[in-house]
Amino acid sequence: MASKKAISLFASPRKGRYNDEQKRVIESAFFEEVNYKNMEIATYRWVGKGKTILLVHGWESNTARWEYILKDLKAQNYNIIALDAPAHGRSDGKQFNAVLYSEFINVVAKKFKPEVLIGHSVGGMASIFCVHHNQLPSVKKMILLGAPAHFTGVFDRYKSMMGYNKRISSGLDAIVLEHFKQPVSYFSAANFTASIKVKGLIVHDKNDRIIPYEDGQLIANRYENSEFITTTGFGHGLKDASLTPKIIEFINH
């Protein structure tokens, strides 16, 4: 019972719905809902004639997090698509997990056919899950910003932060196994990248206090067709203007 409550707490975002200021960011976009298993996925489009880019935000966030880079992406005349995760922004749902998020990404990617996926944090992890498990011929490149290398680390940090004892921790692992028919250790973004052929750009900050820098190193190590950019002092958000030209250069070449 305690483990069920703990998993529900883990999967329930406390924030991520739009506040008034964040709504300003999406006002200029075409809004469209796409359906997945009776759940509406909120999508946003800033139409351009260039490459189609899909923006995938992280935990307790929404499409407004991309405000810092939108102007520069629009200047490149990219066709920009963004989605809100399950239980985030304007998308349906009360609970969130990276596997469900990857299904959302798959539905949106099949509709809009992006050439590039840009995922921040668990959005990066869900993007890897999506590309690993689905045939998405349109996708040629993937940019991972502060992405976790494996679910085990995320889960262990949660258990430790909450001070759960061994019994509750084991119960949590059992619930994951029962629900997803795979153990926690299976959900390794780093391992999944071994099967991914699309070109990757991995960016991780040495001072990331949410997802350790070692996660970025591990993904870069396993992801054969990728390059790795290390930053210092940009934290987990990686919202620094100095990174934008590097991201655009990677997309264009």
In angstroms, rounded to a whole number, what is the distance separating the alpha carbons of residues 70 and 81? 11
- pLDDT tens figures, 90-114: 999 999 999 999 999 999 999 999 9
Contact 69, 242 (CB under 8 A): no
Q: Which of 197, 194, 228 shows the shortest CA–CA distance to 213? A: 228
In angstroms, rounded to a whole number, what is the distance separating the alpha carbons of residues 251 and 253? 6
- What is the rounded average pLDDT for all residues in the chain? 96
Given a cut of 90, whether residue 2 has pLDDT beyond it is no
Contacts 24+ apart (CB under 8 A), 101-106: 101/56, 101/126, 101/129, 102/126, 102/127, 102/129, 102/130, 102/133, 103/36, 103/37, 103/130, 104/36, 104/41, 105/54, 105/56, 105/130, 106/130, 106/133, 106/134, 106/136
- pLDDT tens figures, 108-137: 999 999 999 999 999 999 999 999 999 999
Q: Kindly indicate the confidence band of residue 16, based on its pLDDT and cuts at 50, 70 and 90.
A: very high
Q: Which residues pair with 33 in a beta bridge?
A: 42
For 2-252, the fitting CATH number among 3.40.50.1820, 3.40.50.300, 3.30.2290.10, 3.40.50.620 is 3.40.50.1820
Instruction: Give the residue extent of every domain in the chain.
Output: 2-252
In angstroms, rounded to a whole number, what is the distance separating the alpha carbons of residues 211 and 14? 19
Given a cut of 90, whether residue 199 has pLDDT beyond it is yes
> What's the pTM?
0.96
Contacts of residue 199, Cβ cutoff 8 Å, sequence gap at least 6: 140, 141, 142, 225, 226
Instruction: Tell me the residue type at 155.
Output: F
What pLDDT score was predicted for residue 21? 95
